[in-house]
Structure 1
Amino acid sequence: MQARIQEYLLTEQDTAPYGITAGPDGALWFTEQKGNRIGRITPDGEMSFHPVPTPESGLSCITAGEDGALWFTAYKAGRIGRITVEGVITEFALPGDGSAPFGITPGPDGALWVTLTAAGRIGRVSLTGEITEHALPQAGCFPSFIACGPDGALWFTENQGNAIGRITTDGEVREYPLPREKSGPVGLACGSDGALWFTELLGNRIGRISTSGELREYELPAENARPHAITPGLDGDLWFTEWGSGRIGRITAGGELTEYSIPTEGAEPHGIALGSDGAVWFAEECGRIGRLIPEGPGVPQA
């Protein structure tokens, strides 16, 4: 599949865009780790920004909640944030110090589920801000990205535990160790094939795990690509960022891989999401938002 990439330069530099998600308003919403703002960009490139009240909060991942708002994690501040499409921000402090929330996703119960990397826990945040936490069996496992599976459970990567985890809404946890040591799983998303797909930052692979625990792994063509985040596309494929190589990758359900180079050198892409326009949007730590538009025969329509 052919594709072209557009990039949009942010109004301020050194803000380090990180997470990105599609909003209910048709725009893309993103976090700035250094800028401490939540950004919004429309499909035609118009931007607006909303400063987060807590300074230097270390904004990380962002997702759309079932309440029509965007929810995000503040890694350094130990908070979960909520922003309406009008830009009204509410913050909820997590109990205890040093929990370092990172991944976030809506669960089948309507709540937000988050990974608490430093605490080694999975948290649940109700739409009113009530927080409960579930400890993971493996100490120091560093849970990272999290996604809802087709089985009604939450699936997550254990970056330092070298495993994929599963937790039910009742808090029952199961872990699936990866076959090779020091794979460093990070990004995770549910594919249209009913499996969970994940990135191996250190292993330089894309992985797939079925809800029954069957694992497959696919080596990336680029050396030291450092794949980071992953998201489903329109036609059963998945798209992912290659933080190390400055590329966007695509993998089909059958494991066929394609890579696309980002024009800006040193882009450092992190978060990635499918937009309402059918394009694949991604956050570049270098201070840009990227948009990849698939082209050519056989491209599905949004």
Structure 2
Amino acid sequence: MLRRSFLKFGLAGLAAPNLILRSAQATGQTQPGNPFIVTYFEVPDIKGSRDVTDAGDGTIWVCGQRNGVLGRFDPRTSQTKVIPLGDGAAPHGVVRGPDGAAWVTEGGQNAIARIDDKTHKVELFKLPEGRERANLNTPVFDKTGMLWFTGQNGIIGRLDPKSGKMEIFDAPRGAGPYGMTRTPSGEIWFASLAGNYIARINTQSGAFTVVDPPTEGQGARRVWSDSKNRIWVSEWNSGQVSSFDTESGSWKGWKLPGNKPRTYSVYVDDADKVWLTDFALNSIVRFDPLTEAFDSFPSDKPGANVRQMDGRTGEAWGGESGTNRLVRIQTVKPA
């Protein structure tokens, strides 16, 4: 295992002054001077609606963690297709594969699940013996078509979808691997919540390069890359969002607005705007790295608990795991 520690700060340091906070009412309509539309969709058959991803045809995949299903929601009709994943299923993360299928980290069955996008047939790839209760979390495809995934109980996995061969690697510092992302240059990175670090994976050897964020005990939970190969990190314990420049090795960090924020997830859209969720303020938060301004979108229901977001051009999506709803935030005009 290779290891690097970076303690350099970017010019913004760990806090940006004069942060701007704007709130958008969740009415489904624009507000005067507000470039966003927030819409909620009830999905009562998806219990614990959590991680989401674009299905590629206008629909959205959403994991129903509490009732063991994958949902396919069509916002044009508000109809949901419910796909049971098997006895004891508890899906966590979902990603659309190169084959168009949905690939799910299925923690309840300790397996990776493939759900065909045409037939909705479910195929399971079980973890090998001796790797039970891995607490599977986030899946990501690399540029060669290999599926990588995290398990909070201290593993990183690699699955060849063509052959079904699966390899499991012990993560640095044991338990903690959580979010995972792929950069435009093709690197695979993950965050360790319990380990308080991010790391790059050598996709050939399975070795790790560990990078420590400047804030000690920050609780790096999720990661997402922007178009410049910068790794954006949601810091659960510190309430910050931080970015790591993979070329210069420098860090920048910003505290989310409000009292004692708890930054859960991070998603970077195709305009390099950063979307976060804050459990403390029951909000989705959008951060603009150019202006260092935040927009806040508090839910209209308590305990929304929006998990991992995703999106497509002009739209950011999240699952309110505490209300069995989906939320869509549309950018009406360029911000």
Partner Cα separation in structure 2 for residue 240 and residue 63 of structure 1: 19
Aligned in 2, Cα 1:198/1:105: closer, same or farther, shift over 3 Å? same
- Provide the residue aligned with 2:79 in structure 1: 88
Conserved 8 A contact 1:149-1:155: yes
| Structure with larger RCO (C-alpha < 8 A, sep 6+) | 2
- Provide the residue aligned with 1:259 in structure 2: 253
State the SS of the aligned residue for 2:288.
strand
- Provide the residue aligned with 2:115 in structure 1: 125
- Provide the residue aligned with 2:50 in structure 1: 60
Partner amino acid, structure 1, of 2:84: A
Count residues in correspondence. Answer: 268
Gaps of 5+ in 2: 1-10, 292-333
Partner Cα separation in structure 2 for residue 102 and residue 48 of structure 1: 23
Could you tell me the percent identity over the aligned residues? 26
- Provide the residue aligned with 2:215 in structure 1: 222
Partner amino acid, structure 1, of 2:213: L
Partner Cα separation in structure 2 for residue 5 and residue 149 of structure 1: 36
Q: 1:75 aligns with which of 65, 68, 80?
A: 65
- Provide the residue aligned with 2:230 in structure 1: 237
Alpha-carbon distance, 1:293 to partner: 0.6
Q: 1:136 aligns with which of 127, 133, 138?
A: 127
Alpha-carbon distance, 1:113 to partner: 0.2
**For structure 1, which segment, 197-206 or 231-240, has the greater mean C-alpha deviation from structure 2 after superposition?**
231-240
- Provide the residue aligned with 2:159 in structure 1: 167
- Provide the residue aligned with 2:282 in structure 1: 287
Alpha-carbon distance, 1:278 to partner: 2.8
Conserved 8 A contact 1:147-1:155: yes
1:192 equivalenced with 2:184 (yes/no)? yes
Partner amino acid, structure 2, of 1:242: E
Aligned in 2, Cα 1:179/1:77: closer, same or farther, shift over 3 Å? same
TM-score (structure 2 length as normaliser): 0.73
Partner Cα separation in structure 2 for residue 185 and residue 104 of structure 1: 16
CA RMSD of aligned residues (A): 2.6
Conserved 8 A contact 1:188-1:199: yes
- Provide the residue aligned with 1:36 in structure 2: none
Alpha-carbon distance, 1:6 to partner: 4.4
Conserved 8 A contact 1:193-1:253: no
Deviations 1:130-188 (Å, cap 9, x if unpaired)? 1111100111111111111112011100111x121111113210112123233x10000
Gaps of 5+ in 1: 13-38
